[in-house]
């Protein structure tokens, strides 16, 4: 059984084209935002759509797959783990970034 301690699966759509970078050693990184939405009705019967945005990061061969297949609007299932990074901003304030480190993806778009 796969390790379930820090595992995330999200189904959503890319909000923009992914950002790709290749380092001097040839290793690639892909970064993109993924929107997940839930729709429900409130106590007054009004339809509410709640959209959450997730920062996704992919390295190596999975980044290469992302570069080949992903673009703005792509529908995708992303699997990975939650990663928290801390840094100090330009004003010296501590900030935390939450990202999903992608380990696999499944394209959900219909073929063109």
Contact 99, 85 (CB under 8 A): yes
Assign 2 a pLDDT band (cuts: 50, 70, 90). low
| 79 inside domain | yes
| 81 inside domain | yes
Stretch 2-27: mean pLDDT: 92
| 102 inside domain | yes
Contact 109, 74 (CB under 8 A): yes
pLDDT at position 5 is 87
| 31 inside domain | yes
Structural domain including 81 reads 8-107
Which of these, 30, 105, 38, lies nearest to 75 by C-alpha position?
A: 105
Assign 68 a pLDDT band (cuts: 50, 70, 90). very high
Query: Pick the residue with more confidence: 78 or 1?
Result: 78
| 112 inside domain | no
Domain CATH code at residue 15: 2.40.50.140
Per the structure, the count of domains in the chain is 1
| Model pTM score | 0.86
């Amino acid at each position: 059984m796969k390790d379930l301690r820090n595992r995330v699966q999200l189904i959503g759509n890319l909000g923009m084209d992914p950002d790709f970078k290749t380092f001097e050693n040839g290793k690639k990184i892909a970064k993109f935002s993924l929107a997940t939405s839930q729709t429900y009705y409130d106590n007054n019967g009004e339809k509410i759509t709640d959209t959450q945005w997730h920062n996704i990061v992919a390295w190596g061969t999975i980044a290469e797959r992302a570069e080949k297949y992903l673009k703005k609007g792509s529908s995708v299932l992303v699997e990975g783990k939650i990663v928290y990074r801390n840094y100090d901003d330009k004003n010296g304030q501590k900030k935390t970034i939450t990202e999903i480190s992608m380990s696999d993806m499944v394209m959900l778009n219909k073929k063109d």
